Amino acid sequence: MNNELIKKDLKYIWHPYTQMKDCEEAPPIPIERADGVKLYDYDGNFYYDTISSWWCNVHGHNHPTIKKAIKEQLDAFEHVLFAGFTHKPAVELAERLISITPKNITRVFYSDNGSTAVEVAMKMSMQYWQNNGDEKRTSFLSLDRGYHGDTIGAMSVSGVDLFNNRFESLFFKSFKAPSPYCYRCPFEKEKESCSLECLTGMEGILKEHAGDIAGILLEPLLMAAGGMIIYPPEYLKGVRDLSNKYGVHLILDEVAAGFGRTGKMFACEHADVEPDFMCLSKGITSGYLPMGVTVTTEEIFKTFYDDYDKLKTFYHGHTFTGNPVACAAAIASIDLFEKEHTLDRVVEIDAELKDFLKSVQDLPMVGDVRSIGAVGVMELVKDKNTKASFESKKRLGYEIYSRGLKKGLLLRPLGDIVYFFLPLSVKKGELDDIFNRTREILETSSIFL
């Protein structure tokens, strides 16, 4: 079965973020089934899903509660257009989301993925200003290491790097502020004693261009694909203050950080910040089905609410907007947070992660360790004194990925960043095993230096 599947895969399929030529020597692994935090191939080998299958699996694979909700909805109906029609799962999910998001949030707009949730927020923000007669605010301010998705609009407000630099000519103009990257602080400050000098770059842009900017867009506390950068809540509070001071929207991309990853239901809660827009996806259905959501305030919603001939309608939609099966999965996932005391478990995971990271931080190539909730990060460097990175031709991340598979670990480093993005259902014994296997890989660091 394995060989036949692999042969057909390589004949027909083009995988994401993959140099397909690598598959000649390291073909994709066919997965037959999954349970909890483990993936099983056809030979009976298992792999710990330490990155939640690209950050979306929250409650573990094959959870009976979510499967039951999906099956029950399928017995009723699978889909209906969401223009001129509605249904109970979409209404119930919207009500649940309003009950758990910040208090100023009152409206829910459904889409189908994280990139689109971000683009919806940007389009709403820009049209808000136009509906109010301000035609100049057509740009956005974001962070130079941010990542918001792979559609053209989302790439335009992301940092320009290996992921998207070939497409830069397609991007619309946006402003980029320096990222709060504490380990590589451009001001050479220490995290424990800095005065948030990294906010000065953002304020400088706002002083000069606020009249052209519709909103500030950033990932709260955890910049995921940009290097698993974790920054202090005080920085996010500072950004909220700047958005208020200069009269621009605050758009928070919680696609990766939302639904318990950081120890709170949403990362912005750590800073007690209420955004104007929040973008959700990934963990909203615990990874069982695709779904995107953009939530916003009543004040923003009302600027679109008018007679049809005023042309203030928000013309945006998707075939699978508010898909009832995805809504049912999301409702079941939200229910599990209370039923299984999921956030309490994240507190335990956070403590265990910190202990592990402390135990490996003195290894020769571990330059920095950082964590928040169920996310733990090890930044590997060639020289700990200079923080010099490894040469890209070494493909350190790929080597660690390969070694991880041999030890039953699904690790997928971001360059030299090795990280855990753990399912929130992971048990202590599983964590200990994951950490021991990872330590064995890191302790062979001499092969890389």
pLDDT, one tens digit per residue, over 339-362 is 999 999 999 999 999 999 999 999
Per the residue annotation, which of 38, 176, 264, 282 is the catalytic one? 282
Residues 174 and 298 in one domain: yes
Checking if the pLDDT of 105 tops 90, the result is: yes
Per the residue annotation, which of 11, 12, 17, 173 is the catalytic one? 17
Checking if the pLDDT of 392 tops 90, the result is: no
Checking if the pLDDT of 432 tops 90, the result is: yes
Residues 361 and 311 in one domain: no
Checking if the pLDDT of 2 tops 90, the result is: no
Residues 89 and 8 in one domain: no
Lowest-pLDDT choice from 98-112, 190-204, 372-386:
190-204
Residues 185 and 195 in one domain: yes
pLDDT given at position 111: 97
Checking if the pLDDT of 119 tops 70, the result is: yes
Residues 270 and 164 in one domain: yes
Identify the domain boundary among 306, 324, 339.
339
Please indicate whether residue 288 is annotated as part of the active site.
no
Q: In the chain, pLDDT over 70 holds for what percent of residues?
A: 99
Residues 333 and 359 in one domain: no
The domain of 381 spans 2-59+341-447
Please indicate whether residue 147 is annotated as part of the active site.
yes
Checking if the pLDDT of 399 tops 70, the result is: yes
Per the residue annotation, which of 48, 110, 128, 147 is the catalytic one? 147
Identify the domain boundary among 284, 310, 339.
339
Identify the domain boundary among 339, 358, 382.
339
Q: What is the CATH number of the domain that holds 79?
A: 3.40.640.10
Checking if the pLDDT of 446 tops 70, the result is: no
Residues 47 and 104 in one domain: no
Residues 349 and 427 in one domain: yes
pLDDT given at position 347: 97
pLDDT given at position 187: 86
Residues 115 and 182 in one domain: yes
How far is Cα of residue 411 from the mean position of the Cα atoms in its chain? 16
* Confidence band of 449 (pLDDT split at 50, 70, 90): low
Per the residue annotation, which of 49, 112, 253, 416 is the catalytic one? 253
Please indicate whether residue 235 is annotated as part of the active site.
no
Residues 115 and 168 in one domain: yes
pLDDT given at position 50: 98
CB 188 within 8 A of CB 223: no
Domain count of the fold of the chain: 2
Please indicate whether residue 246 is annotated as part of the active site.
no
Q: What is the pTM of this model?
A: 0.97
* Confidence band of 445 (pLDDT split at 50, 70, 90): low
